[in-house]
Amino acid sequence: MNRKFLILTVASLLMMPMISSASSMSQVQQTKEAENAKGTEFFKGSFKEALAEAKKENKKLMVDCYTLWCGPCRFMSKNVFPDEKLGKFMNEHFVCMQLDMEHGEGPERNKTFQVEAYPTFIFFDADGKEMSRFEGMAMQDDFLKRCERILKGEAPISKEDIQKEKQEEKQQRVAEKDTIIDEGKGVNFIKGSEVRFADVLAQAKRENKRVLVDFWATWCHACMKMNKTTFRDTRVGNMMNYSFVNYAVDVDHDADGKELVEKFNIKAFPTYLILNPDGTEYNRIVGSNPVEGFAKALTNALLGKEDQYTMMERKQKEAEAKAKAERQANLTASPKATPKTKVKFMAGMDVEKGIKAAKAKKKNLMVFFTDGDYKSEYVEKYSFNDAGIADYLNKNFLCMFVDVKSKQGDAVVTKYEIAESFPGFLLFNSKGENKGYAGGTLRTADMMKENFDMYLNYVPNK
């Protein structure tokens, strides 16, 4: 946090003797206010020492139970606890401490704390008796309200409360039981098993309508539910039959299914693609919905508004492109040194050489990609020094280390088309076949084995 120190103000006053006394006092006051503007202060010391400090100051104790790999924990530290309003409240009523539940005294404390989700915030009175707790990330105002409730002796918003609220919201949405099924005529779909796509476009041109293509599959539960509910509704049927030539395509079995999926880059099911009569895309809706929700989504699509799923996908791609550009703008000439861990890493970044070596030893190859961020650092410092993980990797894999912030590492990222998601693990089986890229912070041998086995044993449908 940037602070203005009183000494700077005093020095400036000495250099400008003509400033009035009132003006001088105003500057000093502003400086003091700036000094006092601070977020939540965290006690540096053990739990026992923090408890003693709370008793001494006649305050309660709040323990922020976190882990180094926890993104929401990090968000709270960087974006919530620095808030001035929250800080003023917390500093007045609590001694606050942050406790790493996987290192230091954390594991021993957790034998009694029994924390299962991160972050978890536990509140104690001055005698060390637990008053209350709550889990999960919360923004400043929400966090403050929860703490106020605890100070008053009221129960915080529990997981059960949150689940109850969600259930009530769900029931309210499902209260759409006024669906008018089969009263008149639901959606009239032309079947892809009976009519080819070219003929559907020809009909759309004759009728001067757009085409709505329903991409579905027999294994898609959401698709089948839409067919049994929303598409049997008279109101939805009237709306769609008036506006479109409706075409249902079984992506696995219909003649034009696979070609249309590839042509229009369909990645999720169900997807409802809206085409102009000339066959060009106008808009799309991704995912199932009950009657009211689908009618709204359809109306928005006709007005040219972007579907939520499509928007999220676009924003994710834009974020990845931005992250990639920023990373590539600051590449180092030399990669950082491969860390010395219990996991044994081959020297260098020549993946082709690693594949050959792994095949010769009849082992799989694991290529670890790091960007040096806190998640990558966690894997390097802790996961690769875990005895179980080291035993699993050293027995079954040859391992390589790639620094993606170096020119050499970026070349590997480009060659193997690695997603801008780090840390990650590029896996090759003992035959040298590329089995995919597993992203994420894998913290235990069981997590790693389960994740890697999924990739190594995956056989694509042909």
pLDDT of amino acid 200:
97
| More confident position, 1 or 454 | 454
CA 360 → CA 83, 348, 430, distances in Å? 57, 18, 8
DSSP code, position 302:
H
| More confident position, 265 or 181 | 265
| Contact status, residue 441 vs residue 375, Cβ threshold 8 Å | yes
Quickly state the pLDDT bin for 154 (edges 50, 70, 90).
Answer: confident
| Contact status, residue 204 vs residue 245, Cβ threshold 8 Å | yes
| Contact status, residue 251 vs residue 261, Cβ threshold 8 Å | yes
> Residue 398 — φ and ψ, nearest 5°?
-95, 140
Q: What gap in Å lies between CA 349 and CA 409, rounded to an integer?
A: 7
CA 357 → CA 199, 351, 369, 399, 401, distances in Å? 55, 10, 19, 10, 15
Q: Is there a cis peptide before residue 82, judged by omega within 30 degrees of 0?
A: no
pLDDT of amino acid 166:
60
What is the full DSSP assignment across 211-246? Answer: EEEEEE-TT-HHHHHHHHTGGGBHHHHHHHHHHEEE
Two tokens at 428? 């090759």
Is residue 158 pLDDT above 70, yes or no? no
pLDDT digits (tens, 9 = 90+) for 88-131: 999 999 999 999 999 999 999 999 999 999 999 999 999 999 99
Name beta bridge partners: 122: 63, 133
What is the distance of C-alpha 66 from the center of its chain?
Answer: 18
Which pTM was predicted?
0.66
| Contact status, residue 335 vs residue 403, Cβ threshold 8 Å | yes
Is residue 171 pLDDT above 90, yes or no? no
Of 261, 276, 272, 274, residue with least CA distance to 309: 272
pLDDT of amino acid 309:
84
CA 291 → CA 180, 212, 235, 308, distances in Å? 9, 17, 8, 17
| Contact status, residue 358 vs residue 450, Cβ threshold 8 Å | no
pLDDT of amino acid 8:
31
In this structure, the chain runs to a length of: 462
pLDDT digits (tens, 9 = 90+) for 74-95: 999 999 999 999 999 999 999 9
> Residue 88 — φ and ψ, nearest 5°?
-60, -45
CA 413 → CA 90, 367, 397, 407, 451, distances in Å? 45, 11, 20, 10, 21
Q: Where does 126-278 show beta strands of DSSP type E?
A: 130-135, 189-191, 210-216, 244-250, 271-275
Of 99, 136, 140, residue with least CA distance to 119: 136
Q: Where does 18-156 show beta strands of DSSP type E?
A: 60-66, 94-100, 120-124, 130-135
CA 437 → CA 107, 365, 428, 453, distances in Å? 32, 12, 9, 12
- Strand, coil or helix: what is 368? strand
Average pLDDT along the chain: 87
Is residue 208 pLDDT above 60, yes or no? yes
Two tokens at 151? 């100070």
Phi-psi region of 188 (alpha: psi -120 to 50; beta: other; left: phi over 0): beta
Q: Where does 307-418 show beta strands of DSSP type E?
A: 364-370, 397-403
Quickly state the pLDDT bin for 308 (edges 50, 70, 90).
Answer: confident
